[in-house]
Amino acid sequence: MIKLKFYFLLFILIFTLPAFSQTDKTLSDKSDTLRHDNLDEVIVLGKSKVREINESAYNVVSIDTRLLHNTTLSLTQTLDRISGVKIRETGGVGSNAQISINGFSGRHIKVFMDGMPMEGFGSSFQLNNMPVNLAERIEVYKGVVPVEFGSDALGGAINIVTRQTKNTYLDVSYSYGSFNTHKSNLSFGHTMQNGLVFQVNAYQNYSDNNYKVKTNLLDFASSHYSTEEYWFKRFHDNYHNEAVIAKVGVVNKVWADRFLIGITLSQEKADIQHANLMQIAYGGRERKAKSIIPTLNYEKRNLFVQNLNLSITANYNNVKNNNLDTVAGRYNWKGEFEPKGSKGESGQYSLSEFYNRNAYLTANLNYRPNDKHYFAVNNLYSNYTRKTTDAAANHENSTAATFMRRTNTKNVLGLSYRFEPSKRWNTSAFFKYYKVDVRGPVNTSASTSTVTYEEREKSFSTTGYGIVMTYFLTESFQLKSSYEKAYRLPSERELFGDEVLEVGDASLKPENSQNINFNLSYSNVWHNTHSAYIDVGLIYRDTRDYIRRQIEQRYGGAFYTNHGKVLNLGIDAEARYFYKNIFSIGGNITYQDIKSMEKYTANKTVDINYKARMPNVPYLFGNIDAGYNINNALGKGNTLSLGYNLRYIHSFLRSWLSEGAIRTIPMQLSHDVNLTYTLKNGKYNISFEVKNIADEILYDNYSLQKPGRSFTIKLRYFFFSNNFK
């Protein structure tokens, strides 16, 4: 606690001094300088929206994803190239992807689309299956999240910003790749002279995911796994997914600057090849999901008075999930089958259907009386319910918890004030009030061999607060810092499970954390030819009641527990260099030391894992990327682009050191290259990509292996017309 107070006082001291220094020199807006917020090679001129976000007081990175629309990247793969961000996938196309920002992962990170929470959208409409073409830019908040999002995020947030242009556009693409992978995307938007707006986004993904994996083989006679690992071809991992997002509305009306109503329809069907442990192979399990999500977006500037702005977003998520596990037997990785007396490969027979209903309403009101003061108030209300209808529940799979109610109601109220005396520095203070009510099944048995469920209800309320500041030392150097006392309320998946591979716990406590960030960045341009950008950030996270995901060893399922105290000290750095719009190179590296600080066990004895590094969490990783453009290649307006990307993850422990046998996820190094040829200034595009050139064995979670070397070709047509010349 003494250390925390010292850091907080130092934080206040650093940013209070500028307020009493000599008169600030007016900083130019640097509108004619070059700032590169891309991952590859294209230069962004002027002070774009991306740059304005990056120069705010928040520890945020904004990426212009339009520069990646010729690639076959998903949104999660795009995020994986950002400093401090690690995407952990469990397999190929359609597999579960977990986002980690500065050591916080999973539900610690909140995801939004155009400011609307994506929690509850369902597995068929998530970042891991969305094409990068769906987004215009991505905003990644590493630490404090603005109250305008109404979030209870603990480790950061991601906001996917879709196209908001009033012009006409059409973006159509199709790609084919290894493992019989097909992806297609269509985006269309048109605004009429009378302000009527139409927008449609549609995409589909399909893959056999039949890549090879190296793992242990189950011997039916002994019921033991081989000590030696062998290569096998995945035989039960087909995945397909389709989604349509349609919106209609008006812009530039007296009563609304923007009013859109929409509908999102999505579905997926996925074979389940394995559990959370690779050696356990399935041959008959599968899951299905369908989502129907109506949405509303309303924006009005200068409401009643000048500079009073109101925005409202709402959505109602209707998600149907099916978990099918009916096979009376078990498989091994050779595809061999052994019958058994009971049904269900996972140990539980299931024909379950469960329905998730999730309503969100976010209202944000902000007011700027003058250039120096800015006020904002936000309220987020959400209500979640799950109902189960299991055809197998009346037989061997029935438990007392099967038909118990599962509800979760949350309300987060946020207030903030920003003081901006000059372009050189500004500061924001904020306050949050959290209220949650949970009802669901709780295991009340003290025995590990029996389970006794009771339906219980609990309520929780608390307050959080914080401050963010930034100061421009010169035109090129910017200093940022933030402090926050934050709470993160357990998600529905943590409370109630996913009805497939994870078991929930309705008695979980909210996490709380005291977070501190320092960032120093540098950007400069020489002779309008060379430019460079460097950013270094320090992080401090002192978390209590940390929610940890753990793996059950027998059947490979997962469950959640409140671990206790966790301390994270880390640093991330990024550097980039650009030469005109011809050549670029850059990279980032992240180090995070996440340790258990729970000194005593429930029996009041010293915990053997006290001050030990948390298992199954990477602590050192980074990326390097480079791009080279040949302009006017084979004709004016044509460009040939070459790109390279390297990903590195240092080896890390799969389990606690105290558990005896040391199990690690090995060091991983992968290389990707891409070649893109654009014609007629980007109207026609063809791309060729090779991922994991060296065919390395790549893991993210436990022993779950990702695809080896793959090849992809993508064709894209893009049309754009200015409606308001």
Give alpha helix (H) positions in 534-692: none
For residue 1, count other CB atoms closer than 10 A to its CB. 7
Please determine, for residue 37, whether its predicted confidence score (pLDDT) is greater than 50. Answer: no
Give residue for tokens 């259907």: 353
Residue 415's pLDDT band (boundaries 50, 70, 90)?
very high
Picking from 113, 52, 10, the residue whose alpha carbon sits closest to that of residue 538 is 10
Dihedral sign, Cα of residue 322, residue 323, residue 325, residue 326: negative
Contact 158, 119 (CB under 8 A): no
Q: What is the pLDDT of residue 655?
A: 81
Residue 542: φ, ψ to 5°: -115, 100
Q: CB burial class (10 A; 0-12, 13-18, 19+) of residue 448?
A: exposed
Picking from 295, 344, 335, 346, the residue whose alpha carbon sits closest to that of residue 316 is 295
Q: Where does 78-167 show beta strands of DSSP type E? A: 85-89, 97-101, 104-105, 109-113, 116-117, 137-141, 156-161
Contact 226, 219 (CB under 8 A): yes
State which residues form the domain around 389. Answer: 2-721
List the Cα angle 431/435/438 in 5-degree steps: 155
Please determine, for residue 699, whether its predicted confidence score (pLDDT) is greater than 50. Answer: yes
Residue 103's pLDDT band (boundaries 50, 70, 90)?
low
- Please state the rounded mean pLDDT for residues 415-436: 93
Residue 441's pLDDT band (boundaries 50, 70, 90)?
confident
Please determine, for residue 26, whether its predicted confidence score (pLDDT) is greater than 60. Answer: no
Stronger pLDDT, 369 or 146, i.e. the higher one: 369
Residue 176: φ, ψ to 5°: -130, 135
Burial 229-257 (b: 16+ CB within 10 A, else e): eeebebbbbbbbbbbebbbebbbeeeebb
Lowest mean pLDDT: which of 34-38, 669-673, 692-696?
A: 34-38
Domain count across the chain: 1
SS (H, E, C) 23-75: CCCCCCCCCCCEECCCCCCCCEECCCHHHHHHCCCCCEEEEEHHHHCCCCCEH
Give residue for tokens 């791009």: 627
Residue-wise pLDDT tens digits, 482-492: 999 988 877 77
Residue 3's pLDDT band (boundaries 50, 70, 90)?
very low
Interatomic CA distance for residues 552 and 502, integer angstroms: 10
Burial 511-534 (b: 16+ CB within 10 A, else e): bbbbbbbbbbbebbbeeeeebbbb
Give residue for tokens 């200068």: 302
The distance from CA 441 to its chain's CA centroid, rounded to whole angstroms, is: 28
Please determine, for residue 35, whether its predicted confidence score (pLDDT) is greater than 50. Answer: no
Picking from 213, 279, 203, the residue whose alpha carbon sits closest to that of residue 242 is 203
Please determine, for residue 250, whether its predicted confidence score (pLDDT) is greater than 80. Answer: yes
Q: Are strands 558-562 and 502-503 parallel, antiparallel or unpaired?
A: parallel
Contact 58, 118 (CB under 8 A): no
Please determine, for residue 104, whether its predicted confidence score (pLDDT) is greater than 70. Answer: no
- Please state the rounded mean pLDDT for residues 673-687: 94
Mapping DSSP to helix (H, G, I), strand (E, B) and coil, where does residue 19 land?
Answer: helix
Dihedral sign, Cα of residue 708, residue 709, residue 715, residue 719: positive
Average pLDDT, the chain: 84
- Please state the rounded mean pLDDT for residues 259-280: 91
Residue 499's pLDDT band (boundaries 50, 70, 90)?
low
Report which listed range, 138-142, 235-239, 506-510, is most confident.
235-239
- Please state the rounded mean pLDDT for residues 373-388: 91
Q: What is the pLDDT of residue 401?
A: 67
Residue-wise pLDDT tens digits, 525-534: 998 899 999 9
Interatomic CA distance for residues 262 and 96, integer angstroms: 27
- Please state the rounded mean pLDDT for residues 519-523: 94
Mapping DSSP to helix (H, G, I), strand (E, B) and coil, where does residue 558 land?
Answer: strand
Stronger pLDDT, 433 or 97, i.e. the higher one: 433
Residue 704's pLDDT band (boundaries 50, 70, 90)?
confident
Interatomic CA distance for residues 640 and 625, integer angstroms: 17
- Please state the rounded mean pLDDT for residues 41-52: 55
- Please state the rounded mean pLDDT for residues 391-417: 73
Stronger pLDDT, 435 or 504, i.e. the higher one: 435
Residue-wise pLDDT tens digits, 316-357: 999 998 888 889 999 999 999 999 888 888 877 878 788 889
Stronger pLDDT, 234 or 131, i.e. the higher one: 234
Q: What is the pLDDT of residue 460?
A: 85
* Cβ-based neighbours of 87, under 8 Å, separated by 6 or more: 76, 77, 79, 80, 97, 98, 99, 100, 700
Residue-wise pLDDT tens digits, 166-207: 889 999 999 999 999 999 999 999 999 899 999 999 999 999
Please determine, for residue 365, whether its predicted confidence score (pLDDT) is greater than 80. Answer: yes
Picking from 674, 670, 685, the residue whose alpha carbon sits closest to that of residue 644 is 674
Mapping DSSP to helix (H, G, I), strand (E, B) and coil, where does residue 14 land?
Answer: helix
Q: What does the CA dihedral 240, 188, 638, 528 come to, rounded to 10 degrees?
A: -110
Q: What is the pLDDT of residue 20?
A: 35
CATH number of the domain encompassing residue 584? 2.40.170.20
Q: What is the pLDDT of residue 38?
A: 37
Share of the chain above pLDDT 70, in %: 86
Please determine, for residue 84, whether its predicted confidence score (pLDDT) is greater than 90. Answer: no
DSSP class of residue 4 equals H
Please determine, for residue 8, whether its predicted confidence score (pLDDT) is greater than 60. Answer: no
Contact 496, 440 (CB under 8 A): yes
For residue 316, count other CB atoms closer than 10 A to its CB. 16
State which amino acid sits at residue 95. S
Residue 27's pLDDT band (boundaries 50, 70, 90)?
very low
Interatomic CA distance for residues 724 and 190, integer angstroms: 12
Q: What is the pLDDT of residue 450?
A: 61
Dihedral sign, Cα of residue 222, residue 225, residue 227, residue 229: positive
Quick one: tokens of 657?
Answer: 């050191």
Picking from 170, 139, 174, the residue whose alpha carbon sits closest to that of residue 157 is 139
Mapping DSSP to helix (H, G, I), strand (E, B) and coil, where does residue 659 land?
Answer: helix
Element spanning 495, H or E: helix 492-496
- Please state the rounded mean pLDDT for residues 672-695: 94
Element spanning 722, H or E: none
- Please state the rounded mean pLDDT for residues 489-517: 76
Quick one: tokens of 240?
Answer: 């397909």
Residue 107's pLDDT band (boundaries 50, 70, 90)?
low
SS (H, E, C) 307-349: CEEEEEEEEEEEEEEEEEECCCEEECCCCCEEECCCCCCCCCC
Altogether, the residues listed in the chain come to a count of 725
Mapping DSSP to helix (H, G, I), strand (E, B) and coil, where does residue 658 land?
Answer: helix
Radius of gyration over alpha carbons of the chain, in Å?
26
Lowest mean pLDDT: which of 39-53, 195-209, 321-335, 356-370?
A: 39-53
Q: What is the pLDDT of residue 4?
A: 44
Mapping DSSP to helix (H, G, I), strand (E, B) and coil, where does residue 496 land?
Answer: helix
Stronger pLDDT, 32 or 118, i.e. the higher one: 118
Residue 678's pLDDT band (boundaries 50, 70, 90)?
very high
